Structure 1
Amino acid sequence: MSQTIELTSVIPEDMHGMRLDQALSELFSDYSRNRLKGWILEGLVTVNGNVASVPREKVNANDSIVINATIDSEDHFIPEEIPLNIVYEDDDLLVINKPAGLSVHPGAGRRTGTLLNGLLYRYPESINLPRAGIVHRLDMDTSGLMVIAKTIRAVHKLVKAISRHDVVREYEAVVIGHMTAGGEVDEPIGRHQTNRIMMSVVPEGYGKEAVTHYRVMEKFRAHSRLRLRLETGRTHQIRVHMSYIKHPLVGDPLYGGKRARFIPNASAEFTRYVNTFPRQALHAIKLEFKHPFTGEELSFEAPVPDDMIELVEVLREDTKEHPDDIVWGF
């Protein structure tokens, strides 16, 4: 089964002079760059009413972009009865609190047991939506809030709002190292040169703009609890940026959070607990956006899950026992 979609946008000032395929990947980030490039080559993209067929074509500020394309539905995925913790729902969208361990979308070697399979079961009509209405993602082992579209018009509006950075996404995390103050990481992110499942900070011009703001909520002797806000939403962004500044997330298997560390005077039990924490300590705690059709300001918060609460309690107790043995970074 397939469906015809129309995507529209206007090139903002900061994309003036950018390649068309690059601009489209920024404006319509819910679709892969290869798919967008294919639509250009098929003549399905117009710029100011003229068919654009060259991906390298340069765009100008205020150019009007329209894509009319056909996409396959999700009918090749199996609907499954998977519990969904629904925080909010109306006719156009829903907000869920995703548990750690639930993959958002099927991938290589995983066709079942994902959020998408659960959406297809609960909302059979979502078979006609791209990715069953999923407009942004959380990593499998990251918990917290996600907004999901229930209609094609909501897909278009929410994707556009996310690409314009109009959706506020805040996270809570526990990182390795004692941090004294918050800050900002403004470093582009691209695919890792040697490990294709990882992302990394890359030289300017080789990746996508990525900005993460963070502040310290609580200091422990060898760890810190942070509140983070995404200005952009790149794959693994928080995990990559925190590792880049030498404060990887506790439990992160890809970016250094599971690497064995020496912590002065720590008990064997404490060291084992921290070094074997079963996932990256990251939770999408807050989500704010304007309803795409009513204009109502929506704001949601999801309680920190039990495993991260227990982690923080363990770190507090260790800090009380060893207040002077500060460990600053990775």
Structure 2
Amino acid sequence: MSQAQSSNSNTPETDFHIFDDSEEADNHTSEVTATRLSLQFQLDESYLGQRIDQVAALIWNDYSRERLKQWLKDGHLLVNGNSVKPKYKCEGDEVLTLNVELEAQTRSLPEDIPLNIIYEDDEILVINKPVGMVVHPGAGNSTGTLVNALLHHYPKSSELARAGLVHRIDKDTSGLLVVAKSLEAQFSLSKQLAKKSVYRIYDVVVYGNIIAGGTIDEPIKRHPVDRVKMTVLPGGKDAVTHYNVKERFQHFTRVQARLETGRTHQIRVHFSYIGYGLVGDQVYMPRVRLPAGSSELLADTLRGFKRQALHAAKLGLVHPKTGEDMMFEAPWPEDFAQLVDVLRTENKAY
């Protein structure tokens, strides 16, 4: 799995503000204000004999066919002012009207928080998340999260579950995240993740000497006693991590890990399980291990590195709309780069 491989998809859009009409057809008008969506379209003979749900999906390809079918069933999508079934065959002269109120999917509030945007278009947003930023609001973290920042940067994200998030990285893990800007993009990316076709590479620094690369294929579930932790246990969810050695030091190893699955704390749990805990991991390696004879600089660096040495460095996916293979990279943050530099000078291999 060296590249993402999945299908493309189209995208719906709504907004709390005025949404500019982007349709080119002369017989199409639209207006979107707040969460109310109002669309109208005059059919012509080119649509004769086609199912109404298929036609609606062609006309309003910002929205999924399944969503349009549900709107037909609920009476939000009318043909000549009448409710019809999704299998209704068009005569080619009908007027379609769509009126629906889209409920906000999040109660979080927008906040003007700077984002390090690696890439953005109408469908997706790729962000290099800094250390310390919580991805999604939760207990004790109702503000200052990535979701709050997304709602400010792109207000339409309020119409999406989890503001368009399709995956997460831990608060103290830095690096790349892709965010959907529409329902269809979110569906496509979620499907790619489920098919294990999203390419995710993490840079990691661990205690100990790993001799060669390999694969950790061990199930992960919530720890039965310490509910903060995850652990390897039979009956857990399948979890697969591939890794390669990139740089060896006397007492540490820098590796690159590729996720085939995306379980909570997966890399941290897997490497701890095989005896190579991550430097700085406060949960799975709570005590700093200082090599015998450590220099003052090395000791201070290790003691001062208070988050897991884990950085989401590369992200590969298929663009939800164009089908293009895309690969993104994020440089190491300053603390990670400094850690590696100190290991190179103060703990270099013989």
TM-score (norm 2): 0.69
Distance of 1:83 and 1:316 partners within structure 2: 33
Distance of 1:274 and 1:227 partners within structure 2: 20
Look up the match of 2:29: none
Look up the match of 1:271: 299
Look up the match of 1:289: 317
Query: How far apart are 1:72 and its partner, in Å?
Result: 6.9
- 8 Å CA contact 2:202–2:258 kept in 1: the answer is yes
Look up the match of 2:201: 170
- 8 Å CA contact 1:259–1:275 kept in 2: the answer is no
Look up the match of 2:281: 252
Q: Aligned ranges for residues 79-90 of structure 1 at < 5 Å?
A: 79-90=110-121
Distance of 2:267 and 2:35 partners within structure 1: 35
Distance of 1:245 and 1:185 partners within structure 2: 8
Q: Which has the larger radius of gyration?
A: 2
Q: Aligned ranges for residues 38-117 of structure 1 at < 5 Å?
A: 73-117=104-148
Query: How far apart are 1:319 and its partner, in Å?
Result: 2.6
- 8 Å CA contact 2:280–2:288 kept in 1: the answer is no
Letter in 1 for 2:139: A
Look up the match of 2:192: 161
Matched, 1:216 2:235: no
Look up the match of 2:342: 314
Look up the match of 2:254: 225
Matched, 1:195 2:249: no
- Supply the RMSD in Å over aligned alpha carbons: 1.9
- 8 Å CA contact 2:290–2:302 kept in 1: the answer is no
Letter in 1 for 2:294: A
Is there any run of 5+ residues in structure 2 with no aligned partner, and where? Answer: 1-33, 37-101
Distance of 2:288 and 2:295 partners within structure 1: 14
Is there any run of 5+ residues in structure 1 with no aligned partner, and where? Answer: 4-70, 325-330
Cα shift readout 1:133-167 (whole Å, capped 9, x = no counterpart): 01100101111111100001111111111010110
* SS in structure 2 at match of 1:137: coil
Cα shift readout 1:48-87 (whole Å, capped 9, x = no counterpart): xxxxxxxxxxxxxxxxxxxxxxx97344211100111111
TM-score (norm 1): 0.73
More contact order relative to length (CA 8 Å, sep ≥ 6): 2
Distance of 1:179 and 1:303 partners within structure 2: 24
* SS in structure 1 at match of 2:151: helix
1:154–1:227 distance in 2 versus 1, CA, 3 Å: same
Letter in 2 for 1:244: Y
Matched, 1:152 2:183: yes
* SS in structure 2 at match of 1:121: helix
* SS in structure 1 at match of 2:328: strand
